[in-house]
């Protein structure tokens, strides 16, 4: 008999007291930092839940970083190992907001013009002295058979950005939620240059808009009140996610009339980064720009276009579905977000 035969193998001791902390970069870069600690751990494997074929980050210290490419809620998993096959696990869900860090921008001054109003969204909530939420499903889906229910909860203001999020969730009879905010009776303007720096969403059935209505709409129904669409995007793949529309709507001889043109990127889509959507509006014309490139102009000197000689207010919203975009399909991913960096209104000095 060997002298080793009656000796038993030492009992394998698993790690214990695994603590997991996840910090998200609040500047919207998508970067997260994981720190983990456990008793009796020889090393750690960290999974960030970003892709089906993800390989773990192996670390002896329990520290790891990762940068997500898109906003979403992810499950971070940490394994504290004694050996390759002996470990304990802890998970934590983390919400990550990824904001584009590049794109076009416009100046704070223009020759011969003064800054009449701006919202840079520098606070932590929507400024109620500027904006009002419109809530609900509206009449006939806000007049367009849209599918969303508008809620204040889908609006956030953080780190200098306004974000409107469209979600696929059941609420009050709708299968989608989003937000719609207006400046009616609070910030209204007649003429000037408007710059709105925004990153817009994409996908079939997604319909973001930055637009204006005549402030007299309570007494003069649409379209006689007038409508100026600074930017609309009707998402849904090639030829759509890279194209925006600039349009006016008015009434002529008791009938609704509209005129608009579109602007398409030569590469990429509008969801890739920030762009600046602008109009220059006076008593003679309205001119549309994307990143200071003109793509539409309309003469409003005709008496038939008198709607556009009045005061207008702003509307920001992300619709889901409706007569123009149609409904989302299996290719549409949620959530979808429209992020606005600023709105600035300039008027002649």
Adjacent-strand bridge partners of 91? 77
Catalytic residue among 61, 97, 134, 232: 232
Residue 305 phi/psi, 5° resolution?
-115, 35
Q: Is it true that the peptide bond before 335 is cis, omega within 30 degrees of 0?
A: yes
CA 201, CA 207: separation in Å to the nearest integer?
8
Residues listed for the chain: 349
* Nearest CA among 100, 107, 105, 25 for reference residue 66: 25
Q: What's the Cα-to-Cα distance from 271 to each of 16, 30, 81, 170, rounded to whole Å? A: 45, 16, 41, 25
User: Looking at the DSSP assignment, which residues form a beta bridge with residue 219?
Assistant: none
- Using a 10 angstrom Cβ sphere, with 0-12 exposed, 13-18 middle and 19 or more buried, the burial of residue 176 is buried
| Cα–Cα distance for residue pair 94/254, rounded to 1 Å | 54
- The DSSP call for residue 308 is G
Do the bridges between strand 161-171 and strand 174-178 make them parallel or antiparallel, or are there none, so unpaired?
A: antiparallel
Dihedral sign of CA atoms 23, 124, 202, 139 in order: positive
Give yes or no for a contact between 133 and 155, defined as CB atoms under 8 angstroms apart.
yes
Our answer to whether residue 232 is catalytic in this structure is yes
Pick the catalytic residue from 97, 146, 227, 251. Answer: 227
Q: 9: which DSSP letter? A: P
Q: Is 172 noted as a catalytic residue in this protein?
A: no
Cα–Cα distance measured from residue 75 to residue 169, given in angstroms and rounded to the nearest whole number: 20
**Cβ proximity of 132 and 181 under 8 Å:** yes
Residue whose entry in the numeric block shows the structure tokens 């076009």: 104
How much of the chain is helix, strand and coil, in % rounded to 5? 5, 50, 45
| CA pair distance 39, 68, nearest whole angstrom | 30
The catalytic residue positions are 227, 232
């Amino acid at each position: 008999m060997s002298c080793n035969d009656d000796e038993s193998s030492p009992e394998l001791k698993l790690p214990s007291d695994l603590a997991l902390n996840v910090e998200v970069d609040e500047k919207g870069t998508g970067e997260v930092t994981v720190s983990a600690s456990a008793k009796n751990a020889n090393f750690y494997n960290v999974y960030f839940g970003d892709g089906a074929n993800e390989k773990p980050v192996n670390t002896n210290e329990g520290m790891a970083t990762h940068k997500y490419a898109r906003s979403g809620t992810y499950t971070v998993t940490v394994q504290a190992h004694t050996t390759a096959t002996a470990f304990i696990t802890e998970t934590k869900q983390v919400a990550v907001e990824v904001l584009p860090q590049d794109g076009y921008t416009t100046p704070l001054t223009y020759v011969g013009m003064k800054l009449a109003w701006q919202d840079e969204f520098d606070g932590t909530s929507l400024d109620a002295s500027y904006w009002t939420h419109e809530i609900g499903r509206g009449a006939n889906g806000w007049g367009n058979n849209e599918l969303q229910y508008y809620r204040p909860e889908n609006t956030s203001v953080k780190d200098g950005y306004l974000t409107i999020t469209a979600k696929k969730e059941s609420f009050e009879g709708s299968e989608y939620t989003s937000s719609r905010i207006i400046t009616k009776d609070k910030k209204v303007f007649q003429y000037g240059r408007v710059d709105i720096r925004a990153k817009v969403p994409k996908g079939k059935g997604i319909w973001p808009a930055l637009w204006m209505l005549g402030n007299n709409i309570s007494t003069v129904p649409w379209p006689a009140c007038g409508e100026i669409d600074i930017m609309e995007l009707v998402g849904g793949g090639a030829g759509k996610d890279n194209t925006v529309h600039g349009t006016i709507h008015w009434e002529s001889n008791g009938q609704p009339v509209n005129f608009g043109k579109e602007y398409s990127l030569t590469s990429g889509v509008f969801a890739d980064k920030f762009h600046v959507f602008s109009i220059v509006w006076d008593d003679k014309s309205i001119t549309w720009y994307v990143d200071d490139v003109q793509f539409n102009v309309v003469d409003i000197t005709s008496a038939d276009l008198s709607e556009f000689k009045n005061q207008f207010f702003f509307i920001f919203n992300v619709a889901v579905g409706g007569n123009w975009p149609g409904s989302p399909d299996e290719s549409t991913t949620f959530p979808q977000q429209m992020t606005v960096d600023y709105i600035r209104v300039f008027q002649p000095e």
